[in-house]
Amino acid sequence: MSESDPKTLVSTDWLERHLKDPDLRILDGSLYLPDAQRDARAEYDNAHIPGARFFDIDDISDNRSDMPHMAPSPEKFISRLRAMGVGDGHQVVVYDGAGLFSAARVWWLFRLMGKTDVAVLDGGMPKWQAENRPTEDLAPMIRDRHMTVQRQAPLVRDVTQVAAASKLGDHEIIDARSPGRFRGDEPEPRKGLRAGHIPGSRNVHYRSLLNDDGTMKDAEALRGIFTRAGVDLDKPAITTCGSGVTAAVLSLALEHLGHRDHALYDGSWAEWGMYGDLKVATGDA
């Protein structure tokens, strides 16, 4: 990525130049699947980008839901972010320890709450550290900042809306999971879920959008990947995955491309795969 856009993606160069900006807030949004055997909070405590706060995706979620890390209420989002010293007028940059994985989910949550001055650090902590940029293990100084949000309902879809879109074919439903999980060849990591995908959906594995260093591919390459997967970029899109995390990588890529008409299916396969009355497709189509 040659140019930084503080509403989608910023480079490590851009972030280091802006580290001392008074209205910059950096968030570590790391989240790992159990098989990664990594402790996101412990890694943050050991080393983080100077001034970064830890954004706990599992905590800043709707804990009343049976689904994993569903979007929180606006009230909870405001409460947690104010406690972290993040509020109105701040430029937010989110990174994670995988490169570009869960940080996109945090970006999407901010967008859902009507906050647009938020970007993901391209390449994340691995690229930052590989370039020998500064880190620290100090807790940041927190000053309370007022925050107002306005939830953007068009950016999220529930199971009823996705079922309608699947039946009508009026949206492109794009699945970020691996090809094996999409086809139904690989078992689901969560117990009790059926294998396969939402009928009519297209498969764009989130990793296919990334370079070897964890940065996002350029716009031309992204457009080609979506098109080859059968995605009509002139249609509105719904992104989905296993639990609503890597779907946000697709949403970030679409936004970076200039495709503004996209929403995320928050329940994703953790919800769809659980209900026997919802149809499941297998194979490549």
Structural domains of the chain, count: 2
Least confident of 101-115, 183-197, 256-270: 183-197
Going by C-alpha positions, the residue among 242, 199, 229 that lies closest to residue 102 is 242
d(CA 69, CA 61): 5
Tell me which residues are annotated as active site: 241
- Please tell me whether residues 99 and 76 are part of one structural domain: yes
In a domain, residue 90? The reply is: yes
Higher pLDDT, 265 or 187: 265
d(CA 196, CA 180): 9
Q: Which domain holds residue 67?
A: 9-151
Query: Tokens standing for 21?
Result: 């900006």
Q: What are phi and psi of 92, to 5 degrees?
A: -105, 135
28-64, pLDDT tens digit by residue?
999 998 888 999 999 999 999 999 999 999 999 999 9
- What pLDDT score was predicted for residue 93? 98
- What pLDDT score was predicted for residue 285? 66
Average pLDDT of span 4-32: 96
In whole numbers, what is the pLDDT of the chain averaged over residues?
A: 95
CA geometry: angle 8, 93, 63, nearest 5 deg: 95
Token pair 């906050």 is at which residue? 115
- Please tell me whether residues 137 and 225 are part of one structural domain: no
pLDDT above 60: residue 252: yes
**Final residue of a structural domain among 136, 151, 166:** 151
Query: N- to C-terminal Cα distance for the chain?
Result: 32
pLDDT above 50: residue 136: yes
pLDDT above 70: residue 2: no
- Please tell me whether residues 161 and 61 are part of one structural domain: no
pTM above 0.95, yes or no: yes
- Please tell me whether residues 16 and 139 are part of one structural domain: yes
- Please tell me whether residues 112 and 226 are part of one structural domain: no
Q: Domain of 172: which CATH number?
A: 3.40.250.10
In a domain, residue 4? The reply is: no
**Final residue of a structural domain among 151, 179, 204:** 151
65-78, pLDDT tens digit by residue?
988 899 999 999 99
- Please tell me whether residues 55 and 183 are part of one structural domain: no
In a domain, residue 132? The reply is: yes
In a domain, residue 20? The reply is: yes
171-207, pLDDT tens digit by residue?
999 999 999 999 999 988 888 899 999 999 999 999 9
- What pLDDT score was predicted for residue 35? 81
- Please tell me whether residues 40 and 25 are part of one structural domain: yes
- What pLDDT score was predicted for residue 66? 85
What number of CA atoms fall less than 13 Å from residue 126's CA on the CB side?
14
CB 135 within 8 A of CB 47: yes
Share of the chain above pLDDT 90, in %: 92
- Please tell me whether residues 54 and 71 are part of one structural domain: yes
In a domain, residue 284? The reply is: no
Average pLDDT of span 89-109: 98
- Please tell me whether residues 184 and 262 are part of one structural domain: yes
Secondary structure percentages of the chain, helix, strand, coil, to 5: 30, 15, 55
In a domain, residue 277? The reply is: no
**Final residue of a structural domain among 151, 181, 197:** 151
- Please tell me whether residues 40 and 133 are part of one structural domain: yes
**What are residue 31's DSSP bridge partners?**
none
Q: Provide the 8-state DSSP code for 139.
A: P
- Please tell me whether residues 23 and 130 are part of one structural domain: yes
In a domain, residue 124? The reply is: yes
pLDDT above 90: residue 169: yes
Helix (H, G, I), strand (E, B) or coil at 281: strand
- Please tell me whether residues 188 and 147 are part of one structural domain: no
Handedness of CA 238, 240, 244, 249 (dihedral sign): negative
In a domain, residue 173? The reply is: yes
